[in-house]
């Protein structure tokens, strides 16, 4: 790995900060297709489910204990919990929980998880300011458009260098969204982007620790505060993103400015958002999907003598752990993924629990998986054959796993994922009401009813 690439500074960058600020401030409310609008709602709901689902995680407890030392005003909701805190701290904690299970949304072109920073900042701010659901969705679309376009311009060099691109672009996206929600004009929006541009968050070395989910949380908090400061007259450079010593050139060797303005206002990056059906790295998803389809065809674990799995070499490189000892290791085991798919038909957070991973029937089933590399198979695909004890062979080929852009999760599947995350926290009935609220959020005069449904009774 080479840490850097020799690139001359670009003194002639277009006025990216100003271009994005005008886009955010001036684009008409709901000025996009129905498909964009639908995806915005799906993004919001998926983010909310992830945050509620991880609300009781140790990371949330530790962050909230730190926040409690500030004696925060009870302004805003901590999703899935009884505590109320100031809006900046709510943005922080909800950003953390939304990414804790690594189960949130993915903008596949940049592997940004865009909702964490943007939606976490927006919901907290909207709750305090009494903003409508319509304003929230507008701000979500535009905030995510900013963070993903900045990401498009810098990816992959910026990521390769060591930045966790979700947090580094997320501060700017959150500031953009909050500026829109506050109704700032283009020049104050540019100041918000500028203040945010001095605060990229997140290094990849933190993967595997609580600081990974801190990144979207920290970005949400920083972006929200940047917008509040800009609203009250705080100033920044109008070329904070693009100048030679501005954010993008400082943190990335690649800065493709065309990515900022290409089809701006016509194409919205939220359209390319995807949602994970399984609570693990995307490279195992085709194999899990294939085994879940075996189960749907009536194959049961006790019938199985052997599962022949053919995959791309990357799958075994990254997730080749044969005998995972706990839930975290199981997330790097395509063998466990297959066993979970065949046994449960799903692989959410519960199917990666330590006590599931160590169950004797799971250990036995994992050992029946024979994985081989097949160079003809794409990394987005998997070829699975169940060889049964009676000699029958049942074959499934997955070209694009569920959750990919080519094969997106249906609304019903998103509902099921949401329930699997939130039912243990809120109960099934409240979860159902919360789904309905998310689906109708654009019609809400304010967000009070929605956030009230997001806390345990």
Stretch 16-75 residues interacting with a copy of itself (CB under 8 A):
58-59, 61-63, 65-66, 69-73, 75
Contacting residues for 361 by C-beta, under 8 A, at least 6 apart = 301, 343
49, 80, 170, 194: which one binds a copy of itself (CB under 8 A) = 194
Instruction: Indicate whether 1 belongs to the interface with a copy of itself (CB under 8 A).
Output: yes
Contact 225, 174 (CB under 8 A): no
Residue 16 vs 453, nearer CB to a copy of itself: 16
Instruction: Indicate whether 233 belongs to the interface with a copy of itself (CB under 8 A).
Output: yes
25, 123, 243, 260: which one binds a copy of itself (CB under 8 A) = 243
* Residue with token string 């294939």: 290
Q: Which helix (DSSP H) or strand (DSSP E) does residue 393 occupy?
A: strand 393-398
Contacting residues for 199 by C-beta, under 8 A, at least 6 apart = 171, 219, 222, 226
Residue 127 vs 383, nearer CB to a copy of itself: 127
Query: Could you say which residues in the range 72-91 bind a copy of itself, by CB under 8 A?
Result: 72-73, 75, 86-88
Segment interacting with a copy of itself, rule: CB under 8 A, options 103-111, 112-120, 209-217, 414-422: 209-217
Instruction: Indicate whether 406 belongs to the interface with a copy of itself (CB under 8 A).
Output: no
Residue 79 and residue 102: Cα distance in Å, rounded?
17
43, 249, 274, 333: which one binds a copy of itself (CB under 8 A) = 249
46, 98, 189, 211: which one binds a copy of itself (CB under 8 A) = 211
C-alpha dist (Å) from residue 260 to 29, 198, 452: 20, 19, 37
Q: Considering the complex, what minimum distance in angstroms separates the CB of residue 228 from a copy of itself?
A: 4
DSSP secondary structure string for all residues of 297-308:
TT--GGGEEEEE
Residue 201 vs 342, nearer CB to a copy of itself: 201
Residue 233 vs 298, nearer CB to a copy of itself: 233
Q: Considering the complex, what minimum distance in angstroms separates the CB of residue 83 from a copy of itself?
A: 14
* Exposure string for 385-397, b = 16+ CB within 10 A, e = fewer: bbbeeeeeebebe
Contact 101, 350 (CB under 8 A): no
Sign, CA dihedral 426-430-432-437, equals: negative
Residue 149 vs 164, nearer CB to a copy of itself: 164
Residue 62 vs 325, nearer CB to a copy of itself: 62
Contact 171, 201 (CB under 8 A): yes
Q: Considering the complex, what minimum distance in angstroms separates the CB of residue 312 from a copy of itself?
A: 24
Residue whose C-alpha is closest to residue 90's, from 57, 120, 49: 120
For residue 382, the Cα-to-chain-centroid distance in whole angstroms is 24
Q: What are phi and psi of 396, to 5 degrees?
A: -135, 130
Instruction: Indicate whether 245 belongs to the interface with a copy of itself (CB under 8 A).
Output: yes
26, 205, 302, 361: which one binds a copy of itself (CB under 8 A) = 205
Instruction: Indicate whether 123 belongs to the interface with a copy of itself (CB under 8 A).
Output: no
Residue 202 vs 341, nearer CB to a copy of itself: 202
Segment interacting with a copy of itself, rule: CB under 8 A, options 101-109, 143-151, 194-202, 409-417: 194-202
Instruction: Indicate whether 299 belongs to the interface with a copy of itself (CB under 8 A).
Output: no
Instruction: Indicate whether 187 belongs to the interface with a copy of itself (CB under 8 A).
Output: no
Residue 226 vs 402, nearer CB to a copy of itself: 226
Alpha carbons within 13 angstroms on the beta-carbon side of residue 312 total 16
């Amino acid at each position: 790995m080479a840490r850097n690439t020799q690139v001359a500074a670009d003194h002639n960058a277009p006025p990216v900060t100003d271009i994005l600020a005008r886009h955010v401030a001036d684009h008409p409310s709901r000025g996009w297709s129905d498909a964009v609008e639908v995806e915005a709602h799906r993004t919001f709901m998926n983010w909310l489910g992830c945050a509620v689902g991880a609300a009781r995680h140790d990371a949330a407890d530790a962050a909230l204990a730190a926040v409690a030392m500030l004696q925060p005003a009870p302004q805003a909701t901590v999703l899935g919990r009884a505590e109320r805190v100031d809006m900046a701290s709510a943005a922080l904690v909800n950003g953390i929980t939304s990414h804790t299970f690594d189960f949130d949304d993915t903008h596949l072109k940049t592997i940004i998880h865009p909702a964490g920073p943007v939606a976490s900042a927006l919901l907290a701010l909207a709750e305090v300011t009494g903003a409508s659901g319509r304003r929230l969705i507008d701000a979500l679309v535009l905030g995510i458009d900013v963070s993903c376009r900045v990401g498009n311009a810098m990816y992959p060099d910026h990521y390769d260098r060591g930045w966790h691109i979700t947090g580094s672009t997320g501060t700017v996206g959150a500031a953009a969204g909050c500026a829109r929600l506050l109704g700032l004009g283009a020049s104050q929006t540019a100041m918000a982007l500028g203040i945010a541009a001095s605060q990229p968050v997140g290094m990849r070395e933190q993967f595997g620790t609580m600081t990974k989910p801190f990144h979207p949380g920290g970005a949400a908090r920083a972006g929200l505060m940047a917008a509040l400061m800009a609203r009250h007259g705080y100033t920044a450079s109008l070329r904070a993103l693009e100048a030679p010593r501005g954010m993008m050139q400082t943190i990335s060797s690649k800065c493709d400015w065309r990515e900022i303005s290409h089809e701006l206002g016509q194409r919205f990056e939220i359209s390319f958002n995807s949602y994970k059906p399984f609570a693990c790295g995307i490279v195992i998803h085709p194999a899990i999907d294939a085994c879940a389809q075996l189960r749907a065809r009536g194959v049961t674990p006790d019938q199985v003598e052997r599962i022949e799995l053919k995959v791309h070499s990357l799958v075994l490189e990254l997730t080749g752990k044969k005998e995972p000892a706990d839930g975290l290791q199981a997330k790097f085991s395509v063998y466990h993924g297959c066993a979970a798919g065949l046994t449960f038909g799903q692989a959410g957070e519960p199917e990666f629990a330590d006590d599931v991973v160590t169950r004797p029937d799971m250990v036995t089933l994992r050992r029946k998986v024979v994985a081989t590399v097949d160079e003809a198979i794409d990394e987005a695909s998997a070829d699975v054959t169940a060889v049964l004890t009676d000699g029958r062979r049942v074959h499934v080929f997955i070209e694009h796993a569920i959750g990919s852009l080519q094969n997106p999760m249906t609304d019903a599947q998103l509902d099921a994922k949401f329930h699997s995350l939130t039912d243990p926290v809120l109960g099934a009935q409240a979860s159902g009401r919360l789904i309905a609220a998310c689906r109708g959020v654009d019609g809400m005069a304010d967000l009070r009813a929605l956030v009230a449904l997001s806390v345990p009774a």
